[in-house]
Every structure is written in C-alpha cells, then in structure tokens.
C-alpha cells in the first residue's frame, strides 16, 4: 500500500524554516514563517493568556468532552469579537475547529455538502493552504487577480473582471484584513462595492480573518466583514486565535455561518456533524482561554493593550523599513511597505534573488519575496534594507 505513495509537494515555508535552523551564521534573520516576534525575537505567551490559564488551573474541575461543535460560550464570545453585534444570534451558526486552518477546511466541507457544484474563488496570490483546503474538500476553485505589484495595492479592475465569471451560488473567499501574503487590504469603499456586487450576483462571501487586531485595531479590522454581514443574507467566516491571542499551538479556531434564521438550525446541526466526521470534538483549551479573556473585563483590557503593543511594533517596523529602503534606493520603490497592513508584505523577486538574499545576506524570505515584518528587529532593519536594495532593486 504505502509503496504507492508519491512525495507530497514541498511546503515552501517549512523548507525555509529548516534552512534557517541549519544556517550556523549568528546574524541570520528569519523573515519567513508568519509568527509574531517581540523586540527580543521571542514569540511570547501573552500576559492575559497566562492570567486566563492560571484561572483555569484554579477553577477547571473536568476535562470531559464538551460538545461536537465546541463550547457555546466560545461561539458567543468569538461572534461578538468578529461580528461586533451587527447580526442577531438567530442568524449565526458556529463551530469550534482545529485552528483557523481547521476552520477553513470545515467551512469548505460545509460548502461541498450544501452545494458540491459551487466553485470557490481565491485571490492570487493567497495563503497557499487556501487552494489545498478547497481541493481536500473536493471543491473546484478558480483564481482571481488581486495584487498590483507595480503600486503595492489591489488590482481592482483585474479582480472584478475575473469575478465576473462567477456563477450564482459560487463562493468568494476574501481575507478579512492583513492579506496574506501581500499586506494589501480593501478600503471601506472597496468593501461596499464588493457587497453590492455579491448581492447583485447571488454570490456567497467567505471571509478568512486570521489577523484581527494586527492592522488598525480589533473593530477596524473587522469593519469590512461586518459590512457584508449586515447587508447580505449569507456569509461564511473562518476565524483564528493563533495570532491575536498568541495561541498558535493550541489550535483555537472557529467557523461561522451568518444566514437567514430559517436556515440556522440545520446549518448548525450539519456543522456539528462535519466536526464529528473529521476531528471529533474540537480542541478546547485555547478556546476556553479566549472565552475567559473576552468575558472578563480586566483580562480583556489587558489583552487589548498587549495586542495594541504588537500592532504598534509591526507598524513601527514597517515604517522603519520603508524609510531605510528609501534611503538605500533613493526612490519610493518600496514605499508601499509603510502603507500595507499586518505581518506580511510581498517584495517580489525571482527564486535566484531570494536564494541570493539567503546565501549572501542571511535573509530568509519565502518564495515570491513574502516577508514577515515581525521577524525584523530595530537593529536589523538597516542591514535588511541594504540586502534588499542590493538584490531586489533592479
Ligand atoms: N488563514 C490565513 C490567511 C492564515 O495566514 C493562517 C495562518 N497562517 C490561517 C488562516 C490559519 O491559522 P491557524 O491554523 O494557525 O489558526
């Protein structure tokens, strides 16, 4: 049996992680994998998380199973965080999942169960797992143009021309904020245009929001998604607490469906069923930490403050890198870095240039030049800018 297996396609990000670990140079800089790092290079456990965990250790009296869709208190807390009260509970079905990845996967399964003919439209570029997760659920997917590398913004005309090919009932996957890998986000008026288009064409939005709070703030980052929820009859959401709660390895994720009340109960039952037939009961510890924080005013304040510190750090590093690159290149060629949002930006570059950055300068980026801004430190910004200017500024 196993001799029939052929090797799976290599994972570009894991490969960069391995190359970085194997590099003996002490001045190497990891700009690859998408985790937040503080000024000392550490991915910290947030203080609010420590407080919630201490509370759980003191008070939790059972590790018995919870429910196939996870804890309803987690659903309510996350629905409030993401949707901000713009739709009533009678329109929301929700289920905990194994991280944001599990949430996207389960949402794809739900699409396939409800309408196997639906095609999922995915931005180019995107988080590489999006197409893989659609395919794993047996769904056909189509790309739509998204990024305008010339100006570091969105290719609106290309995007709308491609989405014009969508059929009624198709699903349009959108990044809620901090687009991975480009950092180029929709404006308020883009969201309004998209909502009108989706409404006119009978298309269903699916918003993946994995970085809420890393762009402009918890509410500002969800404003586009909330606009869709308030205006359209149906919306799917995949959320993750990996980044904004620093709970990466705890795999705290959720998927939600906003729908007419008449569709809600069956959708909820099907989501529980889909959990049962894949992972069984979803992980609980990270979800419970999130719920504890969001339901305790002091812990929530602490968390919001820490999240604001992380956001300020990333935005500060963005601005510092943009300034250093302006100095190095004498141009505004990389000025888009300062305006983009979240942990990632796409610098471009051929495979040979990315290899040269790695070999000559010890700078580790993912193929296509995706850079994790949070991998910078105040004292590496100038060196990184110098390497980028030498190799990529053609
Ligand atoms: N969606 C996007 C766009 C992401 O970048 C990520 C993390 N890389 C996820 C979902 C999933 O994150 P996790 O499974 O770690 O919660």
Q: What DSSP string describes 283-328?
A: P-HHHHHHHHHHTSHHHHHHHHHHHHHHHHHHHHHHHHHHHHHHHH
34 lines ligand 1 (CB under 6 A): yes
Residue range 65-295 forms a domain whose CATH class is alpha beta
With contact defined as beta carbons under 8 Å apart, do 387 and 363 qualify?
Answer: yes
Whole-number pLDDT of residue 13:
84
Q: How far is the CA of 16 from the centre of ligand 1 (A)?
A: 17
Architecture of domain 11-44+312-392 in this structure: Alpha-Beta Complex (3.90)
Q: Which residue has the tokens 């797992």?
A: 129
Residue whose CA is at the smallest distance from ligand 1 atom 13 = 100
The ranges of the chain annotated as CATH 3.40.640.10 are 65-295
Per this entry, what is the length of the chain? 394
Could you give the count of Cα atoms lying within 13 Å of 79 in the half-sphere of its Cβ?
A: 24
Set 243, 252, 287, 324: catalytic member = 243
Residue whose CA is at the smallest distance from ligand 1 atom 6 = 210
Whole-number pLDDT of residue 160:
97
Is 208 designated active site?
Answer: yes
Quick check: bond before 181 cis, omega within 30?
yes
Distance CA 70, CA 76 (A): 11
Kindly give, in sequence order, each residue whose CB lies less than 8 Å from that of residue 48, ignoring residues fewer than 6 positions away.
245, 293, 299, 300, 302, 303, 306
180 lines ligand 1 (CB under 6 A): yes
Whole-number pLDDT of residue 393:
83
Give every residue of the chain whose pLDDT is below 70, as ranges.
394
Record the pTM.
Answer: 0.96
99 lines ligand 1 (CB under 6 A): yes
Whole-number pLDDT of residue 145:
98
The ranges of the chain annotated as CATH 3.90.1150.10 are 11-44+312-392
With contact defined as beta carbons under 8 Å apart, do 235 and 207 qualify?
Answer: yes
369 lines ligand 1 (CB under 6 A): no
Whole-number pLDDT of residue 7:
93
127 lines ligand 1 (CB under 6 A): yes
Which residues lie across from 123 on neighbouring strands?
144
């Amino acid at each position: 049996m196993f001799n029939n297996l052929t090797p799976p396609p290599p994972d570009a990000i894991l490969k960069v992680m391995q190359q970085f670990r194997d590099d003996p140079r002490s001045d190497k800089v990891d700009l690859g994998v998408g985790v937040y790092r503080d000024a000392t290079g550490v991915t910290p456990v947030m203080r609010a998380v420590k407080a919630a965990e201490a509370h759980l250790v003191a008070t939790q009296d059972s590790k018995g199973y919870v429910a196939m869709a996870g804890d309803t208190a987690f659903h309510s807390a996350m629905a409030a965080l993401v949707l901000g009260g713009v739709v009533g509970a009678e329109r929301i079905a929700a289920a905990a999942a194994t991280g944001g990845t599990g949430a996207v996967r389960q949402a794809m399964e739900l699409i396939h169960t409800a309408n196997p003919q639906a095609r999922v439209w995915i931005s180019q570029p995107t988080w590489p797992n999006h197409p893989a997760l659609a395919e794993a659920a047996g769904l056909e997917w189509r790309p739509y143009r998204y990024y305008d590398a010339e100006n570091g913004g969105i290719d609106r005309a290309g995007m709308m021309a491609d989405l014009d090919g969508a059929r009624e009932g198709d699903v349009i996957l959108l990044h809620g904020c901090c687009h991975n890998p480009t950092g180029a986000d929709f404006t308020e008026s883009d969201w309004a245009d998209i909502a009108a288009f989706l409404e006119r064409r009978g298309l269903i939005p699916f918003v993946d929001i994995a970085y809420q709070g890393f762009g402009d703030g918890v509410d500002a980052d969800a404003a586009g998604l909330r606009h869709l929820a308030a205006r359209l009859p149906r919306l799917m959401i995949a959320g993750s607490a990996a980044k904004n709660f620093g709970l990466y390895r705890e795999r705290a994720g959720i998927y939600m469906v906003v729908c007419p009340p008449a569709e809600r109960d069956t959708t909820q039952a099907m989501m529980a069923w889909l959990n049962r037939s894949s992972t069984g009961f979803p992980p609980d510890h990270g979800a419970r930490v999130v719920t504890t924080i969001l339901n305790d005013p002091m812990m929530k304040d602490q968390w919001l403050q820490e999240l604001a510190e992380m956001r300020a750090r990333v935005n500060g590093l963005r601005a510092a890198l943009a300034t250093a690159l302006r100095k190095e290149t004498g141009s505004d060629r990389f000025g888009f870095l300062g305006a983009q949002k979240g942990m990632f930006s796409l610098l471009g570059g051929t495979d040979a240039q990315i290899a040269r950055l790695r070999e000559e300068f010890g700078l580790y980026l993912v193929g296509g030049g995706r850079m994790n801004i949070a991998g910078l430190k105040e004292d590496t910004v100038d060196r990184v800018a110098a390497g980028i200017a030498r190799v990529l500024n053609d």
